[in-house]
Structure 1
């Protein structure tokens, strides 16, 4: 959905960033800005800055930054449109109606109805659990040591013994058979008509990241089969791209998730204070799950069952997580089967200790691999080390590969160099080795120079947004064209346009970008730390050197691109060089 710049700016301007962020972070005013502990990384000293003047935030510790939209996109994991809608509702701004094609409108309407039906079903199941018919199910949950607050928080319920009660309830609410079937809550056949998918089961509502009910899991009461039954996949429910408990875990802001196998494991861990627990939905971990997890954390602790099936599941999950850049660690539950049993018998403190002793996923996989070899014979150990070397060769990053080679060499008492050479040979044999690209010596210098220029451009943009007097003194000499192509030049162009209109507003510039990473980069352009300089004279000298450096680099780049037959271009280049000479004599005043 596209919203005009005017609508976006109205929503942004009516949501003061200090007010919004104060609802999430305790802020304290220091000078012209507010500071607090960054919600995006662990820190003890406040480095998270919120500027009411710029209507932007920036963390000098981790680099997170942006405007009020960015904050909600990062903190709540909203898309840009979701953040816009939330803030519009908060400020009482009415957004224009979305314009859909006929097909898109029908699909959106269907999705909305399915979400309504699932919500109604969840409320029905919860009411049944609390009623007389739910006594057995409630007793089951109480025997599993779940408290009333936990039952309510997870919306646990009961589908009673009659196989068409939910169907009749939803029909009484006006929902049609077709939609109830599309929600996966009934089965329809010619002989029996419509009947409930779930009956005589404890019900576990499955919610998406925004706490909307998208499906259900049901555990049978008694000896019926299957023991656990999940909703079929629907337009709103894809079990390979959703995680049970994610709606609660994502708001804990812990740097890792506890990944479990079942609903009860997640619920028990949450009740014990481990609110970052999640589980896949009746399926093995998929690349879709891993990509979803990567949006929130960089590390996962696997708390799979301690039996053979749980071990195999953990071994399958480790490379899937690694492929998307997530580090996996293994928490073992012995002498208990799963986190639920462990917590009930040993408590939260003991589980916290197990987290502290979690094993690296790769090293754990080698411990399991060991069991397939006779480690007491030279042949067996040699074959084992060859397989280990083959696995080590799959690490793309040289530093990471080297660190693991060192760890394995220490653990299995082999020489580091011997193992490193074996890894190299195995890489060649398996086709994993790539030719080493050796850059020319000048390439490294060029990269270093370019990085220095980008830092200078960041410093100047930060200065320009903070002091109009500086802009007025250099606008004749430095133009947006002097900045590097891409975000730097775009931001400079927008800033210069704002100065022309006498309406400088850095936060509004960010409205032109909707990607989180772009927001972070743009925010850094306005919050670059300028070296502490004690006197105005020192600041003026540093500013002049920055401006000259940027202009000189711009001239060098233009010279490389210039066609010798371009007379107009040559004239412009000569003018630029004269301006550079003028800049070297210019005195820039700092207020």
Structure 2
């Protein structure tokens, strides 16, 4: 929703009185003052007279005759400040324009447009509308020039104009009245003329001067008509065209007057929204120093009065709409008197409109009087003939006259209509019959107020009761007037109709009571709106109307019932009320989840959304009741659905819904049958997804070339990775399966290991830029990790080393890998719980191996080694350093000769952002393929194939996800035949073998028992060597055995009970400062059993047997390396 001040910003600042602005802007340069013009010395050129810069008050424009520059008040400020004027520009408004805009804002006490920081899009839109309006002005100005030339070339048309209207040639030239000649002599057609002025066809359509056919052909709106431009602030803002004898005779040209086309979103969307029929002809006169003005019905009448120096305005339509009056009233408030001079005709339509307008102006506190043009002999004779021959008299109800016409024969009807036309007079007719300006001014003095007109026009009955009924409406209008004016009107009634003054005052008292009751009702209607008028367009309006109903009925509002209606409004406008299985109420509204019982920022989002739609906060009773009723509605009537954020998977039907997080509220529905885009919350399956707070908008691309995007993915995502080729294959397959998470029990963690500068962080930037639209690395708290993992498809933890892996972090990593739900107590309660389910892939980076101290993790972790020698990506910091040091980059030819191409990190990330929609669309299409294969049972086949190929391997727990990765790597996108699952792709075999080798090596190096055994056997051998040396004392072996309680026979075989072995290894590790994290014999024995393969791979053959007392004895043989 636009800020209301922004919406009308340019209208407000350009409404500033140009004379007052000139007084402040050019105080020392104003040389001469008249009622119409300020003659100034131009600040940008020197002239002999020093008065070439004119500020024209009655047209609210300026023009410098030396610089040949002009425009409205905004243009004047910009020209004075900078020497230039911004018109018909493209792109952002220049600084000179914005400075002038801010100057006028300060002059009017308004906030600068740049101060609306949170409304950037609205500001850009308003600036664009200003540019479009200036463009329309420029084109219509040029069109007015063209039509004016056409008129001057047609003397017969000019003669017809002068015969029918009291307008001089001087006025024709000043106002550039024209003729819309369709075959002008010596001139090209209007559209060709405008094209020569560098205006394009699409721009011409904006002006309302042209029709647009179904085939986009251009067609002038006006054909052989007189064209009257509406000038304001030096530009043509509107125009109407009068039919002439040369106008074509067809159904499209029957109307006497044709107006510019105005914008209509259905019928005329090509017309600019700036074209409206709310303009007043000569509206700029309201900004001059006149204290009175005449409102007349027709533009030609207004021009005739203008020519005679009468301040006058005229609406485009017969009468101004109430909403348009609101714009004009502030300009009329400073007038002492507004006079309305309408046509004097049999139907009295003009008089009726004048009375309505006069009453409305009076309600606004503006003195308004109605002038009546006297009839000439010509009109009097026509009216006499009408009454005598056809019984037709002036009547305010047109239906009465129509009924009498219907009773006549066709010949009589035509004659009567001719007489009705002759019986009418208007300002032009009156002047043509010889009236003068002085006569018009004298007529002004005899003007009456609307109430005076009604008093003198009463149809006075004979019966007293009927007279009272006739007087009631007039007395009700007199009631709010000041006492002195009331008395004057009562005296007028007494004198005209012979009523007693005392009786009239008694009737006035009753009228005053009635008026007060109605005034209170009007005040309530003004506050709450017309409660019975139309349906409300907003929830705020609905609530106000409902409250208004209660107040008008003098009842206390039933807020609970009003809140129920507000809930219905939300549902009718797309809201979905829901609750979780634990009874938590929430609402899906405008593509976001709003929690009704939340706290902190989530509560603020809900209350802000509620306030935006209803105008109510929890500070008032209606707002509090509304919050309560909406929450109860969600629990009682809403659908039960536990929240899913970025993805919803129906594993039974093999359907995935993925939130695209775009402004259109779209989600991608992926199934074996295809990828379709549906609306979030209102789709056939009623899937509601919360927004992933990190994912930037995605738009699914149809019709992409799968091969081209596949090559692009390899170029941008795989090639820059500083790891082995098989590991790149594993990474791209792993990230490609992010939409298939719910089809796997284990989600293996990927860990990038390597020294500094080996490209680990760059790799995470590539992955996060693809999924999120920007880089996302973090090292947050464990609680933040749980939340992040439940709301986003990927979590990247940077620089995780052994020392960082606390028990809480280890538990999180395990939950993220296995999908175990974390349950915790809800804030502010003692009994309720909240469950967080990690639903994301997890990637870590680090330098050192996590090792075997975390076997539950390492068996679910893909460790990928990065090498500095493989790193061909230059980071932004490296690029900047080379730039500062003056490094000369390789030329493209030199780079092409290099064995290893160099990638610029910033360039790669930018390209990923540019092609992100295509790459993600390819992943969705590949996911479609994999879903089809899963539906046909090929996932199980792939898992069986992997189990046959790898009988017993370190990553057996991740076999299901490895199978998904394998299927994804075989998919090409869309519908695809079944894959060949007889034998594994050698690349995958190499991947798994590499993972196992890396894991085993790391585990062996970091397993505490292996470390302790290696050290113990080495210590035993050193003791033996010491005894056998020439200088040995022969006691080293005995000392070793006494110290640790263990005997190593021949330096190769150690035999001991479990307790003895545990005690000896514990003592040795303590002496050596080694970690030995076992606290009792049972725990140690369990670890020996689970780590037997690692111990065997480290060169120790362990056998054990259980003897008496169920004591276990170990025999450990160290094999020769």
Among 204, 220, 223, which residue is 1:196 paired with? Answer: 220
Q: What is the match of residue 24 of structure 1?
A: 33
Residue 493 of structure 2 is aligned to residue 383 of structure 1: no
**1:429 Cα deviation from its structure 2 partner:** 3.8
- Tell me: CA distance 1:363–1:12, structure 2 relative to 1, closer, same or farther (3 Å): closer
Q: What is the match of residue 117 of structure 2?
A: none
Q: Aligned equivalents of 2:152 and 2:72: distance in 1? A: 35
**1:309 Cα deviation from its structure 2 partner:** 1.6
**1:145 Cα deviation from its structure 2 partner:** 4.4
Q: What is the match of residue 274 of structure 2?
A: 236
CA-to-aligned-CA distance 1:268-312 (integer Å, 9 cap, x gap): 1222332x0221112312332465154152421111011112222
Q: What is the match of residue 448 of structure 2?
A: 359
Q: Aligned equivalents of 1:200 and 1:362: distance in 2? A: 44
Q: Aligned equivalents of 2:327 and 2:174: distance in 1? A: 26
Higher RCO structure (Cα 8 Å, ≥6 apart): 1
Q: Would the aligned equivalents of 2:475 and 2:508 in 1 still touch at CA under 8 Å? A: yes
SS at match of 2:305: helix
- Tell me: CA distance 1:92–1:399, structure 2 relative to 1, closer, same or farther (3 Å): farther
Residue 293 of structure 2 is aligned to residue 257 of structure 1: yes
Q: Would the aligned equivalents of 1:181 and 1:187 in 2 still touch at CA under 8 Å? A: yes
- Unaligned stretches of 5+ residues in structure 2: 1-8, 14-20, 38-54, 62-70, 85-94, 99-113, 115-119, 263-271, 377-424, 522-1121
* Matched residue count: 371
Q: What is the match of residue 811 of structure 2?
A: none
Q: What is the match of residue 158 of structure 2?
A: 138
Q: What is the match of residue 150 of structure 1?
A: 171
Q: Aligned equivalents of 2:228 and 2:59: distance in 1? A: 24
Q: Aligned equivalents of 1:205 and 1:380: distance in 2? A: 51
**1:400 Cα deviation from its structure 2 partner:** 5.0
Residue 340 of structure 2 is aligned to residue 280 of structure 1: no
TM-score scaled to structure 1, two decimals?
0.56
SS at match of 2:369: strand
Q: What is the match of residue 428 of structure 1?
A: 513
Q: What RMSD, in angstroms, separates the aligned Cα atoms of the two structures?
A: 3.7
- Unaligned stretches of 5+ residues in structure 1: 4-10, 27-38, 40-71, 436-591
The 5 A counterparts of 1:381-530 are 381-393=467-479, 395=480, 401=486, 404-405=489-490, 407-429=492-514, 431-432=517-518
Q: What is the match of residue 96 of structure 1?
A: 96
Q: Would the aligned equivalents of 1:261 and 1:304 in 2 still touch at CA under 8 Å? A: yes
Q: Would the aligned equivalents of 1:127 and 1:157 in 2 still touch at CA under 8 Å? A: yes
**1:362 Cα deviation from its structure 2 partner:** 1.8
Q: Would the aligned equivalents of 2:304 and 2:427 in 1 still touch at CA under 8 Å? A: yes
- Tell me: CA distance 1:178–1:341, structure 2 relative to 1, closer, same or farther (3 Å): same
SS at match of 2:453: helix
Q: Would the aligned equivalents of 1:265 and 1:338 in 2 still touch at CA under 8 Å? A: yes
**1:206 Cα deviation from its structure 2 partner:** 1.1
The 5 A counterparts of 1:28-177 are 86-87=76-77, 89-90=79-80, 96-98=96-98, 101-131=123-153, 134-143=154-163, 144-162=165-183, 165-177=189-201
Q: Aligned equivalents of 1:202 and 1:93: distance in 2? A: 38
Q: Would the aligned equivalents of 1:305 and 1:338 in 2 still touch at CA under 8 Å? A: yes
Q: Aligned equivalents of 2:131 and 2:495: distance in 1? A: 60
Q: Would the aligned equivalents of 2:475 and 2:511 in 1 still touch at CA under 8 Å? A: yes
Q: Aligned equivalents of 2:190 and 2:60: distance in 1? A: 34
**1:195 Cα deviation from its structure 2 partner:** 0.5
Q: Aligned equivalents of 2:191 and 2:240: distance in 1? A: 17
Q: What is the match of residue 356 of structure 2?
A: 316
Q: Would the aligned equivalents of 1:290 and 1:320 in 2 still touch at CA under 8 Å? A: no
- Tell me: CA distance 1:255–1:195, structure 2 relative to 1, closer, same or farther (3 Å): same
**1:151 Cα deviation from its structure 2 partner:** 0.4
Q: Would the aligned equivalents of 2:60 and 2:72 in 1 still touch at CA under 8 Å? A: no
SS at match of 1:23: strand
- Tell me: CA distance 1:293–1:73, structure 2 relative to 1, closer, same or farther (3 Å): farther
TM-score scaled to structure 2, two decimals?
0.30
SS at match of 2:239: strand
Q: Aligned equivalents of 2:491 and 2:83: distance in 1? A: 58
Q: Aligned equivalents of 1:157 and 1:387: distance in 2? A: 47
Q: Aligned equivalents of 2:519 and 2:299: distance in 1? A: 43
Q: Aligned equivalents of 1:13 and 1:146: distance in 2? A: 34
- Tell me: CA distance 1:84–1:207, structure 2 relative to 1, closer, same or farther (3 Å): closer
Q: Aligned equivalents of 1:213 and 1:361: distance in 2? A: 34
Q: Aligned equivalents of 2:22 and 2:289: distance in 1? A: 25
Q: Aligned equivalents of 1:73 and 1:153: distance in 2? A: 13
**1:413 Cα deviation from its structure 2 partner:** 4.0
Q: Aligned equivalents of 1:432 and 1:122: distance in 2? A: 50
Q: Would the aligned equivalents of 1:167 and 1:186 in 2 still touch at CA under 8 Å? A: no
Q: Would the aligned equivalents of 1:327 and 1:361 in 2 still touch at CA under 8 Å? A: no
Q: What is the match of residue 462 of structure 1?
A: none
- Identify the range of structure 1 (379-388 vs 336-345) with the bigger mean alpha-carbon deviation: 379-388
Q: Aligned equivalents of 1:86 and 1:190: distance in 2? A: 42
Q: Would the aligned equivalents of 1:161 and 1:200 in 2 still touch at CA under 8 Å? A: yes
Among 212, 215, 220, which residue is 2:235 paired with? Answer: 212
- Identify the range of structure 1 (354-363 vs 89-98) with the bigger mean alpha-carbon deviation: 89-98
- Tell me: CA distance 1:347–1:14, structure 2 relative to 1, closer, same or farther (3 Å): closer
- Tell me: CA distance 1:162–1:195, structure 2 relative to 1, closer, same or farther (3 Å): farther
**1:25 Cα deviation from its structure 2 partner:** 5.8
- Tell me: CA distance 1:150–1:75, structure 2 relative to 1, closer, same or farther (3 Å): closer
Q: Aligned equivalents of 2:519 and 2:256: distance in 1? A: 48
Q: Aligned equivalents of 2:210 and 2:79: distance in 1? A: 35
CA-to-aligned-CA distance 1:511-546 (integer Å, 9 cap, x gap): xxxxxxxxxxxxxxxxxxxxxxxxxxxxxxxxxxxx
- Tell me: CA distance 1:192–1:135, structure 2 relative to 1, closer, same or farther (3 Å): farther
SS at match of 2:179: strand
**1:331 Cα deviation from its structure 2 partner:** 1.4
SS at match of 1:366: helix
Q: Aligned equivalents of 2:327 and 2:280: distance in 1? A: 11
- Tell me: CA distance 1:87–1:181, structure 2 relative to 1, closer, same or farther (3 Å): closer
Q: What is the match of residue 436 of structure 2?
A: 347
- Tell me: CA distance 1:265–1:75, structure 2 relative to 1, closer, same or farther (3 Å): closer
Q: What is the match of residue 301 of structure 1?
A: 339
Q: Would the aligned equivalents of 1:73 and 1:83 in 2 still touch at CA under 8 Å? A: no
Q: Aligned equivalents of 2:24 and 2:520: distance in 1? A: 54
Q: Aligned equivalents of 2:218 and 2:128: distance in 1? A: 24
- Tell me: CA distance 1:12–1:406, structure 2 relative to 1, closer, same or farther (3 Å): same
- Tell me: CA distance 1:282–1:387, structure 2 relative to 1, closer, same or farther (3 Å): closer
SS at match of 1:278: strand
SS at match of 1:432: helix
- Tell me: CA distance 1:429–1:362, structure 2 relative to 1, closer, same or farther (3 Å): closer
Q: Would the aligned equivalents of 2:343 and 2:373 in 1 still touch at CA under 8 Å? A: yes
Q: Aligned equivalents of 2:230 and 2:315: distance in 1? A: 11
**1:258 Cα deviation from its structure 2 partner:** 1.3
**1:235 Cα deviation from its structure 2 partner:** 2.9
**1:415 Cα deviation from its structure 2 partner:** 4.0
SS at match of 2:436: helix
CA-to-aligned-CA distance 1:349-373 (integer Å, 9 cap, x gap): 32222112212222012333x13x4
Q: What is the match of residue 283 of structure 2?
A: 246
Q: Aligned equivalents of 1:221 and 1:84: distance in 2? A: 38
**1:187 Cα deviation from its structure 2 partner:** 0.7
- Identify the range of structure 1 (135-144 vs 354-363) with the bigger mean alpha-carbon deviation: 135-144
